Copies of this chain bind each other. A is one copy, B any other.
Amino acid sequence: MHHVSVPGLSGDRFAVIYSVAAENEASARQRALDICLEQTVEFPPDLLPPGDIPDHILGRLEAVEPQGSNRYQVRISYAVEITGFELTQLVNVVFGNSSIKPGLRVERLALTAPLHRAFRGPRFGRTGLRELLGVPERPLLCTALKPMGLSAARLGEMAYQCALGGIDLIKDDHGLADQSFAPFRERVLRCVEGVARANHVTGEHCLYLPHLAGPLDTLQERAHFAREAGAGGLMVAPGLVGLDAVRLLANDNTLNLPLLSHPALLGSYVTSGDSGLSHFTLFGQLMRLAGADAVIFPNYGGRFSFSRGECQSISDSTRSPMGHIRPIFPAPGGGMSLDSVPDMLQLYGSDVIFLIGGGLHRHGPDLAAGARHFRELVSVTQHST
Which A residues lie at the B interface, using CB under 8 A?
Answer: 1, 4, 6-9, 34, 38-44, 47-48, 52-53, 56-57, 81-84, 86-89, 91-93, 95-102, 144, 146-151, 154, 173-175, 177-181, 213-217, 237, 239-242, 244-245, 247-248, 263-272, 275-277, 298, 303-305, 334, 357-358, 361-362, 365
Contact = CB atoms under 8 A, between A and B. Distances in A.
A244 to B, nearest CB: 5
Each complex incorporates copies of this chain amounting to 2
Contacts of A362: 44, 47
7 contacts: A4-B154, A38-B303, A41-B147, A56-B149, A92-B175, A92-B264, A100-B263
Contact of A244 (B149, B241, B275): B241
B268 A268 contact: yes
Contacts of A365: 1
Contact of A147 (B42, B91, B217): B42
Nearest to A263: B100
A57 B149 CA distance: 6
Q: Which of A47, A56, A181, A266 has the most CB of B within 10 A?
A: A181
Contacts of A240: 88-89, 91-92, 96, 242, 244
Given A88-B241, A148-B40, A214-B86, A358 B47 contact: yes
The 8 closest A-B pairs by CB, nearest first: A242-B242, A100-B267, A99-B267, A96-B264, A41-B147, A57-B149, A272-B272, A89-B177
A324 B91 CA distance: 35
With a 10 A CB-CB cut-off, give which of A8, A144, A244 has the most chain B CB atoms. Answer: A244
B174 A96 contact: yes
Contacts of A269: 268
Given A97-B264, A99-B265, 11 more contacts: A41-B146, A41-B149, A42-B144, A44-B361, A47-B362, A52-B149, A81-B180, A92-B240, A99-B264, A100-B270, A100-B334
A299 to B, nearest CB: 11
Given A44-B358, A53-B149, A93-B175, A268 B276 contact: yes
Contact of A8 (B57, B86, B180, B334): B180
